[in-house]
Amino acid sequence: MGKGNLSVQVPIKSRDELGVLAASFNQMIQGLNEKERVTNILGKYISPEVAKKVLNDKDGVALKGERRECVVMFTDIRGFTAMSENALPEKIVADLNEYFTLMVDVVDNYGGILDKFIGDAIMAVFGAPVPDPEDPLRAVKAALEMRTRLKKINEAFKARGLPELRTGIGLHSGQVVAGNMGHAERMEYTVIGDTVNLASRLESMTKELKCDVILSEDLYHQVERFVTAEPLHKIKVKGRDQEVMVYRLIDLRTDAPGEQVAEDVG
């Protein structure tokens, strides 16, 4: 066990004190094995800080399915298919991985989880499996940091003679169903529901509204004292009788917690 072999078991040959000790040792090994398994699973989805919170949660975390208030983010590269038509497949993958690495680092740094890659798009979630009151503001800060990182990526791409990347980001806050979903042998931790659908719709609207980051009205009201944003357009949302306003995110206010970030790049 000292060498990391958690499959070892002590044979129980008696019912005396030594037998009880052997049984307790085996239970300890089983517990360490389970914790190692859970750590490995969580490490594929969430940051080490969040994984630690999950493992230390005395009440446990319902990965089989639960309702959560979350912020869902979609970000997509505009026109990437056309940009990559004449590029070598290996080059496309290398450029995408460079972009993904920087963007996913931002999600991790602000306490979110990478839900999935969808082609050249990223879906991220703030608030599951472990919620935090700061999730709405963290999600907004992450979007602004992505804007800053994109400028650095484009500087590097320009130096190599590559075309500039432009992205759209949509964020919405609301209730989701979160849990491990899929086949018994191929599971993924994800969130589903109208909140996800609206976040995706907001991302797709960034091009026609000519801005790079759009917030839903629900999310805007959660962070409005910390951000500057411009009301843009009312949209019809499934499940709601009235249209809702969407907002162009400009920047953090000077009195917002944390540092200022880059300006809107449209």
Q: Beta strands 66-77 and 186-192: pairing type?
A: unpaired
Residue 188, C-beta contacts closer than 8 angstroms, at least 6 positions apart: 116, 180, 181, 182
Of 11-25, 93-107, 117-131, 167-181, the poorest mean pLDDT is in 11-25
pLDDT over 50 (residue 137) = yes
Q: What is the mean pLDDT of residues 178-183?
A: 81
Per-residue pLDDT at 262: 44
Q: How confident is the model at residue 141 (pLDDT cuts 50, 70, 90)?
A: very high
What is the rounded distance in angstroms from the CA atom of residue 45 to the CA atom of residue 249? 27
Domains and CATH numbers, the chain: 63-252 (3.30.70.1230)
Tokens of 75: 């970000």
Tokens 């298919």 belong to: 81
The predicted-structure confidence for 241-259, as pLDDT tens digits, reads as follows 788 899 999 999 988 887 5
Tokens of 22: 């052997």
What is the rounded distance in angstroms from the CA atom of residue 220 to the CA atom of residue 137? 10
Q: What is the mean pLDDT of residues 52-74?
A: 74
Of 35-49, 133-147, 244-258, the poorest mean pLDDT is in 35-49
CB neighbourhood size of 161 (10 A): 6
* % of the chain surpassing 90 pLDDT: 46
Partner residues linked to 66 by β-bridges: 178
| Helices (H), ranges, 44-169 | 48-55, 80-83, 89-109, 135-159
Q: Which residue has the higher pLDDT, 76 or 181?
A: 76
Per-residue pLDDT at 102: 94
Reported pTM: 0.77
Q: Which one-letter amino acid corresponds to residue 170?
A: G
The predicted-structure confidence for 70-122, as pLDDT tens digits, reads as follows 999 999 998 877 777 778 888 888 889 999 999 999 999 999 989 999 989 99
Per-residue pLDDT at 32: 55
Mean of all residue pLDDT scores within the chain? 82
User: Which of these, 107, 193, 197, 102, lies nearest to 154 by C-alpha position?
Assistant: 102
Per-residue pLDDT at 112: 92
pLDDT over 80 (residue 68) = yes
pLDDT over 60 (residue 49) = no
Tokens of 146: 């992505």
* % of the chain surpassing 70 pLDDT: 73
pLDDT over 60 (residue 60) = no
What is the rounded distance in angstroms from the CA atom of residue 223 to the CA atom of residue 7? 49
Per-residue pLDDT at 10: 60
What is the rounded distance in angstroms from the CA atom of residue 21 to the CA atom of residue 47? 37
Tokens 């990347």 belong to: 165
